Amino acid sequence: MDSVTTPNTCPSMTTDWVRPETCVALDAFFQGFGFEAAEDLASLAAWVLEGVTASNVKPQAAVALARARVETWLTRELDMDVMGEGRLLTRGRAAFVLCDGARFGATVFTRDAVPHELSRALSAAVPVPTPAQVAMSMPEQQLVLWPLGERLRRWLRAGQPDMSVSR
């Protein structure tokens, strides 16, 4: 690097109006989806900040805006309702990473039409939530001290329709 050139602190965006911290935060967010190419990260950051006129967007606000945009996209593509507290984003990110959605490039998010192959793969890869735990009591096991007597008792009561006490 020659002495006149300054290193670009945010290689993903070429615009001068975005703060470097904001750019780094957006890059980290989209790298969680598997995007690595600088062009993809730049177009995704531009997609998120599209329509934002403030020149000093804070990183937290930019990531919140990115979350909202991606959740809207996931709601449309996965045909799911908003679940609240980032559950849709978490499940959608897992599905996106599992089916390697980043190989289609940033145009997956930025365009309206999604490839049919990716749409099918996303729907199939969405993790199913675990069922809620239910408190259950386990029946107490009875100790049989005389196994021969227990067999005799069962044999004598075999004709009765009620259930045996021992299991």
- Give the tens place of pLDDT for each residue, 78-90: 877 656 667 888 8
Residue 16 has pLDDT above 70, yes or no: no
Place 28 in a pLDDT band, splitting at 50, 70 and 90.
very high
pLDDT at position 31 is: 92
The residue extents of the domains of the chain are: 20-125
The dihedral built from the CA positions of residue 37, 42, 45 and 47, taken in this order, carries a sign that is negative
Distances (CA, A) of 145 to 49, 132, 151: 76, 39, 12
Q: What is the pLDDT of residues 38-77, one digit of tens each?
A: 899 988 988 888 877 666 788 888 899 999 999 988 888 8
Q: What is the pLDDT of residues 158-167, one digit of tens each?
A: 777 665 555 5
